[in-house]
Amino acid sequence: MSGELVINVAPYETRVALLENGHVVEFYFERPSDKGITGNIYKGRVVRVLPGMQSAFVDIGLERAAFLHVEDVIFNHDDVSFPEFLQCEGEADGYDGRQAKALSASALESAPIEDLLREGQEILVQIAKEPLGTKGARVTTNITIPGRKLVLMPLARHVGVSRRIEDEAERERLRELMNSIKPPNVGFIVRTAAEGTDEKKLAGEMDFLLKVWESIKERASKAPVPSLVYRELDVTLRAARDLFAKEVEKLIVDSEKEYEKIVNFLEAFAPGLTAQVELYRGSQPIFDFYGIEMEIQRALEKKVWLKSGGYIVIESTEALTTIDVNTGRYVGKRNLEETILKTNLEAVQEIACQLRLRNIGGIIIIDFIDMEKPSDRERVFQALVDALKRDRSKTKVLPMSEFGLVQMTRKRTRESIGRLLHEPCPYCEGTGLIKSKQSICYEILRAIEKGRSEFLGKSVVVRAHPDIVGLFYDEERSSFEWVEESLHARIYLQPDASLHHEEFDIAVLEENRRSE
C-alpha cells in the first residue's frame, strides 16, 4: 500500500494529511492559538479526591481541572510489582502509554485513591486525553516520553514491543537487545519504526530520551505549581516521528523553513528517511494539488456517497455515533441479495476510512442493510474487522446481529474534526433543525391575536425575515387577511434580513400612538 504524508504550512494553521493509495485517511491540524496538549507534562496540585469514583481532580493551570483515575496513579517502583513483560497496545504502534498499566488488579484493590493521593499534594502528570466537550483533560502519572524508535517509561521496568512488528523472531531480538542495554530502573516500548534497527542506533536514542527525562525532573523541581514542564513536539515533527513509517513513501511539505526543520529532525533520529522528504514548489496550493481539500470538505458532510451509487449517513451525538448504510441509486445487476451484499462490502471500506479521517471515537453503531444469509453477514463483519486493522487507534468490534447492526468502540484521544472545525449553528443552536417558515407565520398570527386589546383597530408593523414575509404574501395570504379583518386592523409587513429566521417583532405604528 503506497502512502504519502502531505503537510501544508501557513502562519495561521498547519495541516497534515496521511494518504493511502491517493485517499486521505488521517488528518491533523494545529493553530497557534489552540495547540494540542496531549503528551505535555505538567506540575500540578491535587484539588479534590473522590473515593467513590476512585479518582481525583488535579489543577494543572488549564480552564478545567484534569481528571486522574486510580489506574493511572504511580509514583515509584515500590508501589507495585511489575510483570516481566507487558505486551502493549494502542495508537501509534499498537502501543498506548496510559494503557500500559503499572498497577495490577490486586494492587488496585489494595491501594484506593485516598491512600495514594491527598488534597494539596503536588504531582507530575502527563496529558493522556485532550479536553473533550465539557470534560477536562485526562491525565496520568505514568509518564511516557516518545522518540521515533523508542518510548521511555521512566516509572516502569519492563520492555514492550509494538504489536505491529509481526515477525516474532524480530520482536524477540529487539526485546532482548533493549533488556541488555537499558538501565534497570526504567522501561521502554520498542516502536514499529525500530524494526531492523541495530544496537548502536537504539542505544543512541535511549540515551537521548534519558537526558530528556533528567531535564524534565530538574525543571519540575524548580517550577511553580501549576506549570508546564515539558511540551510535546509540534504537529509537523509529530507527523515526521509518528506517521512517517515504512508504508509512507515520501513526505511533502510546502514550507522551506519546515522542510529544513523536518530534515534536521530526521538526520538525528532516522537519517535514512531524509531522501524521502520533498519540498513542494508548485504554484497550485498543495492540498488542492493532491485533492485533499475536497476530501476534507467531504468528511464534514453527513452523507458520504459510495462509488456504486449507494451512500452512508454519519450522525454523531454526545454519547455515540450512528452510521446508516443505504443502496441509494445502486440497483445492482443480478438480484437484490447481491446488490445488498456489494453495497455493504463497499460501505465497510468507506466506514473504516471515515472513522480514521474524522477521528470518530467512543461507541459506534453501524446499521448495515439487512442480509438474510448468515454467510453474507459474516463476510461483511470479517471485512470490517480486516479494514479496521489499518487503524492506529484501538478498536473493538462485536459480531453483527440478525438485524444487521454492528456495535464497536474506537479509542477517543481528541475531538473529532467535525467538532474541531464546526461550531453550533446560530439558527438551530446545534439541534440541526429550525422551525418551518409556515410555523413561524402562524406564531406571528397567534401573537397578534394574543395582543388583541393592544392592536384592535390599529395599524400594526410586523418585522420578520424576508422568507417569512414572502410566505405571507404568497401561500399564507388568506390567513394574514383573516387576522386583519378579525382585528379591524391594518398590518404592514417589513422584511429584515438581519433577523434570525425564527425572530420577529410586532409593534403599533407610531402614527397611531401620536394620534392617541
Contacts of 390 (CB under 8 A, 6+ apart): 20, 25, 352, 356
pLDDT digits (tens, 9 = 90+) for 131-169: 877 788 999 999 999 998 999 999 888 899 988 888 899
Summarised one tens digit per residue, pLDDT across range 305-359 is 998 888 999 998 877 999 999 988 766 666 788 888 999 999 999 999 999 999 8
CA-nearest of 75, 102, 70, 110 to 86 is 102
Q: Identify any residues that bridge with 4 across adjacent strands, giving them in sequence order.
A: 19, 250
Arch. (CATH architecture) of 41-231: Beta Barrel (2.40)
How far is 202 from 218, CA to CA, in rounded Å? 25
Q: Given a cut of 90, is residue 5 above it in pLDDT?
A: yes
What DSSP assignment string belongs to 129-149? E---TT---EEESS--EE-SS
Please give the DSSP secondary-structure letter assigned to residue 225: S
Q: Where are the domains of the chain?
A: 3-34+236-293, 41-231, 299-421, 437-515
For position 74, what pLDDT does the model report? 77
Burial per residue of 416-445, b for 16 or more beta-carbon CB atoms within 10 angstroms, e otherwise? bbbeeeeeeeeeeeeeeeeeebeebbeebb
Q: Which amino acid is at 464?
A: A
C-alpha dist (Å) from residue 358 to 13, 17, 138, 229, 296: 18, 12, 21, 31, 9
Topology of 437-515 in CATH?
Hypothetical Protein Ychn; Chain: A, (3.40.1260)
Closest CA to 174 of 190, 193, 153: 190
Which residues are CB-neighbours of 229 under 8 A, at least 6 positions away?
41, 42, 43, 124, 216, 219, 220, 223
In CATH, what class is 3-34+236-293? alpha beta
- Taking the C-alpha atoms of residue 227 and residue 205, their distance in angstroms, rounded to an integer, is 27
pLDDT of 109 > 90? The answer is no
Q: Cell triple for residue 392?
A: 492506529
Q: How far is CA 256 from the centre of its chain?
A: 29
Residue 112, preceding bond cis, omega within 30 degrees?
A: no
- Mean pLDDT is lowest, of 35-44, 80-89, 339-348, 462-471, for 80-89
Give the pLDDT confidence of 400-444 residue by residue, as tens digits. 988 889 999 998 777 788 877 877 777 777 777 888 999 999 999
Q: What is the pLDDT, as a whole number, of residue 354?
A: 92
The pLDDT assigned to 511 comes to: 61
Query: What's the pTM?
Result: 0.74
Over the stretch 211-237, which tens digit does the pLDDT of each residue have? 999 999 999 999 999 999 999 989 999
The Cα–Cα gap between 347 and 368 comes to: 8
Q: What are phi and psi of 241, to 5 degrees?
A: -80, -45
Residues in the chain: 516
pLDDT reported for residue 104 = 39
